[in-house]
Structure 1
Amino acid sequence: MLLGEPPSSKAERILLAKIDWFILSYCCLMYFSNYLDRSNISNAYVSGMREELHMFGTQFNKINTIFTCGYIIGMIPNNLMLQVVSPRIWFPSMQLVWGILTFCTSAAKNVEQIYAIRFFQGIAESSTFVGTHYVLGSWYKPHELGRRSGIFTSSGLAGTLFSGLLQAAVYRNLNGHSGRSGWRWLFIVDGIITIPIALYGFFVFPDLPRTTKAFYLSEEERVLACERLETFPVLEQPRSRTLSWGLAKRVLGRWRWYGCSLLFAISGETESFGSNNLMGQWLKAIGGYTVEQIDFYPSGMTAFAIVSTLVCATWTDRSQVRWPVLVYMALACIMSSICLLVWSSPTGLKFFAYYLAGASYAGQATTFAWANQICADDDQERAIVLASMNMWNNAVNAWWSIVFYPATDAPRFRKGMVAMLCACVATLAITWVVYALERREWRHRAVSDEIDVDEKNDS
């Protein structure tokens, strides 16, 4: 089964089916619209926005950097707000905000207005990714997390895939309709997709196991949702504590925040080929391709990313070993970079290299499932670590694309290929460090448990 072996208890099977449907349906739709919005700016840029708004130089990269700055600012506050405000209210509210801002983008008259809109969109959209991983870690057992994280991550990739197809269709059918360019219609259609999903979230999202009042869960199922996690000693049903400065001392006094944050800060940069739409920029720069082809062909990278994510997430849930996925994606990106560095290579090999780079997205679901597993015994630490992982990755993103992937480097992006090789090698090294630290913590916990048992026997 895609979601793994069903529980032995009929009551737990029914509960799992319900939370799978209502949590994953909303979170996946929310993330789909989130990534649809992130991707549409890249598709709009190569579909007429650059010419109409008279963009030049690295202004496209600055749009992404400003969005990232907003994303960084909103990351930890959004995740902490989930412990203050009901997720059923917070998630859809933030989605409504970015949906309205998406409509505003369609009316932008200059690039400065795009800068302002994307900054506030970044703040609103930062609620989604780490917030959902926090929620998933609150409802699911360790061996259930990988697949669910994979499906959630793939829904965002589906948004990227759909954005290219949508832009091609919008450009073909709506370009010039009612006096609006095709790229403007893309944002209008995107907003129309986003708002109903937010309304759906207000009605069906179940909050967290200890606070849920979902109409589709009985009282017995609410109790079971909490009790079923108690079979895993490491979880010990973590309870949220009062927010205080002691939280910072507790988090900063352990290796987890440092190790997990550094891991995703670096490994997340392996997604740079896709997040900067290098393939689309390459196709536009070399010429000979229509707007529809430039929007459509990069979808092959996204399709491979979805397959890689789902296959890897399924394997890690079965094996309960996360690190090999990071090795796989690093080696795939090393091969892609080498192929693209050799500029005399045939066009077909360049297509293959860009598509292979889609493997980089397989690490998202696995890395966050791994962090959920590492921090499972401390609810607040888990929220902070998950948010910090994405925050530090975006802190790097804020300048990484401008330095290594400026639009003016199209079509070759030689600096970017070298940067990718370095990021992949660093990813392999940090993965080993996190694995070693996790194993050391397991050994210490085992020794501590043995001492506790001996003391109980002596008494």
Structure 2
Amino acid sequence: MENRLVQYFRGDHHIPGERKLVQKLDFFILTFCCLMYFFNYLDRTNLNNAYVSGMREELNFKGNQLNQINTVFTVGYTIGQVPCNLALYYVKPRIFFPSCMVAWALLTMVTAAAQKPQHIMAIRFFQALFESSTFVGTHYILGSWYTEKELGKRSGIFTASGLAGTMIGGFLQTGIHSTMDGLQGLTGWRWLFIIDGIITMPVALYGLFFFPDTPRSSQAPYLSEEEKVLAISRVPEVSERKPISWRFLKHCFGTWYWYMFVVLWILAGETESFSTNALLQLYMKSHPTNKYAVSQVNNYPTGVPAVGIVSTLFWATLTDFMGGKRYLVGYWIAITGVITSALILAYPQNTTIHFAMYYWAGSVYACQATFFAWANDVLRYEEDSLRAVVIASMNMGSNAINAWWSIVFYGANFAPYFTRGMWAMIAVSIAMGLWTGALVWMHVRTEKRREFEGSVTHVATKADDFGDAEVAKQAEQAI
């Protein structure tokens, strides 16, 4: 067992030069992608931090206008998913990703000039279009470079970087509010958006010069020709067709992969609702008896993404070590969603239980890394464009539901108890557990079929080599 752990964390690399190649990939791919996602989440989630730090009062927010802004963002984010992933076939990732970063950074800074909620709605729609490139695009890139045994850890580190952005955003707003509020006539929440946009720019420049694109298109100067050949050999060679064609669409929607993984992520996305809708912040802001300072409302909820980071890294590492059993996270999410919601419903006046359950609910963030790694694992032997579309469609489907789900079940006007949302969480958590089991069954059935076809193909090849045409013909018919 000890030897297995040592081998796992050191990397199971037997090919000469492979360890050095993976170390280079980790440095240049993960540093850029993690920083990109960190600032992506920082820019995105700081809207909630600004809302509870004076923006609501200054811009005169009414009712659930915050949720309406989030819905507008979600609509833009949903629209951008598939086009952004397909764009990676036509525009080099080292050009595409940094360009999107510059665009959303500029829009983040423009948010500081907003004078009413409707201005923010318009800005956030276009910001979402550019930000939609990051999450699914990175998972596609990771699946293009890394093997099944390497993918979970890298997906976990990438996802954790986004959660770190969520967590640090609260501390950043606290620091800005205490030191820059009123500077140059601008309130602290406006400075937050300006600073967020400025610090994003250097990362875009770094990606422009150092991101290695994909194995078959990389021109990275730090990779030798031998390393480029090795990188291509590490991933299966699959057939390919143009991603924008009627034939491809028929193939895509004719497989179970698209339907099963899209629904999986729709359910998983809604089990993250406690965290993505900042319910703990809204609970504190609207608490009927306790009054919290701005610093407390920003800092206390940072425990939620902190739990998410630990959970993400734990489950990503564990499922890698266990040979890719990503489905275990689906069952963990189901248990977590049911218990946390039931206890909040059972003890509506107990602040301690509410805090504890919202923190625990942060652990469901682990599904981001593991489920997209699962999709990459399952689709590894399918054509590349199908993998890109399925991964993008997963996030697109989830955000299409989020566009109205947050308003119906988690509107700011439902604070502080969100009773309707608690019952919704119980329902989707139970569905999550059942759907995970169904997907495992489909995957096992497909793998058995692939193994059978592979063995029959082997028999046919051998028979053909020995001139036994009849056996070769029977083997081909069996496939």
Same-fold call, TM cutoff 0.5: yes
Alignment of 1:126-145 (within 5 A): 126-145=132-151
Could you tell which deviates more after superposition, 447-456 or 368-377?
Answer: 447-456
Q: State the 1:240 CA deviation.
A: 6.0
Q: State the 1:5 CA deviation.
A: 2.1
Aligned to 1:396: 401
Does the CA-based 8 Å contact 2:170-2:302 persist in structure 1?
yes
Q: State the 1:333 CA deviation.
A: 2.1
Q: Following the alignment from structure 2 to structure 1, what is the Cα–Cα distance between the partners of residues 267 and 274? A: 14
Amino acid at match of 2:127: Q
Could you tell which deviates more after superposition, 325-334 or 97-106?
Answer: 325-334
Alignment of 1:365-444 (within 5 A): 365-377=369-381, 378-444=383-449
Aligned to 1:313: 316
Amino acid at match of 1:342: A
Q: Following the alignment from structure 1 to structure 2, what is the Cα–Cα distance between the partners of residues 189 and 342? A: 42
Q: Following the alignment from structure 1 to structure 2, what is the Cα–Cα distance between the partners of residues 354 and 312? A: 19
Could you tell which deviates more after superposition, 236-245 or 440-449?
Answer: 236-245
Q: State the 1:243 CA deviation.
A: 3.4
Count of residues in Structure 1 that have an aligned counterpart in Structure 2: 454
Aligned to 2:273: 272
Instruction: Report percent identity of matched pairs.
Output: 49
Amino acid at match of 2:316: A
Does the CA-based 8 Å contact 2:272-2:364 persist in structure 1?
yes
- Structure 2 alignment gaps of length 5 or more: 1-5, 465-479
Aligned to 1:159: 165
Aligned to 2:477: none
Equivalent of 1:102 in 104, 108, 113: 108
Aligned to 1:232: none
Equivalent of 2:461 in 448, 456, 459: 456
Q: Following the alignment from structure 1 to structure 2, what is the Cα–Cα distance between the partners of residues 425 and 312? A: 20
Q: State the 1:49 CA deviation.
A: 0.6
Q: Residues 183, 409 of structure 1: CA spacing in aligned structure 2 closer, same or farther, 3 A cutoff?
A: same
Partner deviation per Cα, 1:400-453 (whole Å, 9 max, x = no partner)? 000000101110100011111111011111111111100110111111112112
Does the CA-based 8 Å contact 1:340-1:417 persist in structure 2?
yes
- Structure 1 alignment gaps of length 5 or more: 230-234
Q: Following the alignment from structure 1 to structure 2, what is the Cα–Cα distance between the partners of residues 315 and 9? A: 24
SS in structure 1 at match of 2:219: coil
Does the CA-based 8 Å contact 2:348-2:417 persist in structure 1?
no
SS in structure 2 at match of 1:310: helix
Partner deviation per Cα, 1:9-48 (whole Å, 9 max, x = no partner)? 4511111000100000000000000000111001111111
Amino acid at match of 1:63: I
Q: Following the alignment from structure 1 to structure 2, what is the Cα–Cα distance between the partners of residues 114 and 322? A: 38
Give the TM-score of the pair, scaled to structure 1.
0.97
Pairing 1:217–2:223 present: yes
Q: Which has the larger radius of gyration?
A: 2
Pairing 1:87–2:93 present: yes
Does the CA-based 8 Å contact 2:155-2:316 persist in structure 1?
yes
Equivalent of 1:125 in 126, 131, 135: 131
Q: State the 1:373 CA deviation.
A: 1.0
Alignment of 1:11-410 (within 5 A): 11-229=17-235, 235-237=236-238, 239=240, 241=242, 243-286=244-287, 287-319=290-322, 320-344=324-348, 346-377=350-381, 378-410=383-415
Q: Following the alignment from structure 1 to structure 2, what is the Cα–Cα distance between the partners of residues 34 and 238? A: 34
Q: State the 1:239 CA deviation.
A: 4.8
Q: State the 1:236 CA deviation.
A: 2.8
SS in structure 2 at match of 1:100: helix
Partner deviation per Cα, 1:254-308 (whole Å, 9 max, x = no partner)? 1000000000011111111111110001111114210000000001111000000
Amino acid at match of 2:273: S
Q: State the 1:387 CA deviation.
A: 0.3
